[in-house]
Chains A and B, each alone.
Chain A
Amino acid sequence: MTAEVRVSAAIAPKRRFGGMSGGNARAVIERGLRATMSNNYLVILSGFFEPVFYLFSMGIGLGGIIGAIDVDGASVPYGAYIAPALLAVSAMNGAIYDSTWNVFFKLNFGKLYQTMLLTSLGPLDVAIGEITLALLRGGVYAVGFLIVMQTMGLVLSPLAILAIPAVILIAAGFASIGMAFTSYLKTFQQMDWLPMVMLPMFLFSATFFPITVYPEAIQIMVQCFPLWHGVELIRMLTTGVVTSMIWVHIGYYLVMLGVGVVVVSRRLRALFLG
């Protein structure tokens, strides 16, 4: 009965959200970074190159033919038009990859979350930690891509520096929704639905051309999808053509994030504390 054995080294957390949180999402993030360092940093790099290739191909190739595009009355070179869209897409891809494939594996095969919930962590810590990891990745892509944009002369406004927090917000929105989606999946096959949603969003969300080319009904549909808001948000910041719509775009992502976090922590509670 030595004191050394009896006194637990763990700090007993206060009751938060009825046992949903141990107030230690940081440890979840730390674990993710450690695992990334020792395993799959190459996978992370691959996600960075995809939009860069698109930028080289479309921006330089097509850009030479197309010339400039009209954005709210301002004339923007084609490369500078698609670059912010590709930045938003890379934030989406990074966040979605992390919050779907990675989370699915950890959930169903690695049993990682079960393990975490044997400690003083709560489901909310796990949800917040994992979403933060996904958006950190989105953030890293964003900074890299912005550097590429800057060197190619595609950054038209000093406001572009705000694209970094904006990208993190976009990543957070997608990561939380992605993780919520993944928590309902039972098999790898169901993951095939993902490209069915992601690819059209990528192609039609004013990524490569303004949505004014579509009839009104389709325009409204595109505007319902999250990526369009992300593309417009980033484009405003890097081109400097900012309108009051920016608040709608930001609001859209805040709601997405809020809904995602609530759904994810509820699902984790149902899955592991049921």
Chain B
Amino acid sequence: MSEPVIRAENIVKKYGDFVAVDGISFEVQRGESFGLLGPNGAGKSTTMKMIAAVSTRTSGNLEVLGMDPNTDGPAIRSQLGVVPQEDNLDQELRVRENLITYGRFFGMSHAAVAKRADELLEFAQLTDRAKSKVEPLSGGMKRRLTIARSLMNDPQMLLLDEPTTGLDPQARHILWDRLFRLKEQGTTLVLTTHYMDEAEQLSDRIIVVDKGAIMAEGSPAQLIRQYSSKEVLEVRYGSDKNKTVAKSIADIGERQEILPDRILIYSDNGERDLAVITNRGHHPTTSLVRRSSLEDVFLRLTGRTLVE
């Protein structure tokens, strides 16, 4: 019923001869949590920049909140929250001041920014660090402050570029929890990531991007069903032997990927296949049976792993 908040038709971004984004089309609905998954250099960040109206597209149609980012940058950005890939907090200001000045950039009143800053310090679990300088904060705290900052203007849509890259597992989980709350409140989330677990945790729908083009689209579960098997058996024989062993077990499972460090066997029953392999006398040094993930989807689609 409602208009999509983002409508991208065949958008292209070229830097000189280099094509960063090569004709991507997608739509994002209000309240949806939408992920762009792909390796570094796939064109995710460039796509985000075009949505955030900080990069002008070379061609194609793009509508964000019903406006054209090429001409209505300030108006679009007034409704967006943007969490860039690298923390660009204002080192010359204290924690709370960072929020205050950012709110003022949106033309909010002094009273409104003060109230909002205190709420968001609470939300980001940084109330006790309000007067601290930015520099000594931990990576996770800086990220939370960056997210709090992006929420100063009560954005309709939050854009997150690699939100948890470089954080330790605990900090990631705190962050995911905060983002999940926003999602529950109905904020539209658009995120890029090269972590499949992050995409699975946070996205309702994903597009898999590689070399500037869309490879697949769907919910994490759909993508896994469509492009991978139920289970994956990973066996390792040591880097020299993987290839030789692979030849004699090539008939096992629905499909195999032979990586330099391991063999992945896609199957509906990993334990059974592992038994078959060992019965043939190929005892792996290590083995693992796991559920299929988006990593496997990506490998299937591109022949490459996400994190290289």
- Residue ranges of A at the interface with B (Cβ–Cβ < 8 Å): 1-2, 4-16, 18-19, 21-24, 27-28, 30-31, 34-35, 38-39, 110-112, 114-122, 272-274
Interface residues of B in 47-94 (CB under 8 A from A): 52-56, 70-75, 77-80, 82, 84, 86, 88-94
A21 to B103, CA, bound (A): 17
A11 to B31, CA, bound (A): 21
Q: Are B71 and A27 in contact (CB under 8 A)?
A: no
Nearest CB of chain A from residue B184's CB, rounded to whole Å: 10
Contact of B106 among A11, A30, A274 (CB under 8 A): A11
Q: Are B104 and A27 in contact (CB under 8 A)?
A: yes
Q: Are B153 and A119 in contact (CB under 8 A)?
A: yes
Chain B residue nearest in CB terms to A21? B74
Q: How many residues on chain B are close to A (CB under 8 Å)?
A: 46
Nearest CB of chain A from residue B74's CB, rounded to whole Å: 4
Chain A residue nearest in CB terms to B159? A118
CB < 8 Å A-B pair total:
143
Given contacts A24-B105, A273-B54, A274-B56, contact A9 B112 (CB under 8 A): yes
Given contacts A13-B74, A274-B55, contact A27 B105 (CB under 8 A): yes
A38 to B101, CA, bound (A): 13
Contact of B105 among A4, A111, A116 (CB under 8 A): A116
Nearest CB of chain B from residue A176's CB, rounded to whole Å: 21
Q: Are A110 and B92 in contact (CB under 8 A)?
A: yes
Q: Are B77 and A119 in contact (CB under 8 A)?
A: yes
Q: Are B84 and A38 in contact (CB under 8 A)?
A: no
Residues in B with CB closer than 8 Å to A18 are 71
Q: Does B187 contact A (CB under 8 A)?
A: yes
Q: Which of A4, A111, A118, A274 counts the most B-chain CB atoms under 10 A from its CB?
A: A118
Q: Are B107 and A117 in contact (CB under 8 A)?
A: no
Q: Does B254 contact A (CB under 8 A)?
A: no
Given contacts A31-B101, A273-B54, contact A122 B73 (CB under 8 A): yes
Q: Are A120 and B106 in contact (CB under 8 A)?
A: yes
Mask of B94-108 contacts with A, CB within 8 angstroms, 1/0: 100100011111111
A6 to B81, CA, bound (A): 12
Residues in A with CB closer than 8 Å to B108 are 9-11
Q: Are A114 and B93 in contact (CB under 8 A)?
A: no
Q: Are A12 and B79 in contact (CB under 8 A)?
A: yes
Known: A31-B101, A112-B90. 9 other contacts (CB 8 A): A10-B78, A10-B79, A15-B71, A21-B74, A27-B104, A28-B105, A38-B94, A112-B88, A118-B52
Q: Are B90 and A22 in contact (CB under 8 A)?
A: no
Residues in B with CB closer than 8 Å to A115 are 84, 88-90, 102
Contact of B78 among A1, A34, A120, A273 (CB under 8 A): A120
Residues in B with CB closer than 8 Å to A274 are 55-56
Q: Does B279 contact A (CB under 8 A)?
A: no
Q: Are A120 and B94 in contact (CB under 8 A)?
A: no
Residues in B with CB closer than 8 Å to A272 are 54
Residues in B with CB closer than 8 Å to A13 are 74-75, 78, 107
A271 to B239, CA, bound (A): 46
Nearest CB of chain B from residue A16's CB, rounded to whole Å: 8
Given contacts A9-B153, A115-B88, contact A15 B105 (CB under 8 A): no
Q: Which of B52, B73, B108, B155 counts the most A-chain CB atoms under 10 A from its CB?
A: B73
A27 to B109, CA, bound (A): 11
Q: Are B102 and A119 in contact (CB under 8 A)?
A: yes
A5 to B186, CA, bound (A): 8
Q: Does B185 contact A (CB under 8 A)?
A: yes
Chain B residue nearest in CB terms to A120? B78
Nearest CB of chain B from residue A133's CB, rounded to whole Å: 13
Residues in B with CB closer than 8 Å to A23 are 107
Q: Does B116 contact A (CB under 8 A)?
A: yes
Q: Are A110 and B90 in contact (CB under 8 A)?
A: yes
Residues in B with CB closer than 8 Å to A22 are 74, 78, 107
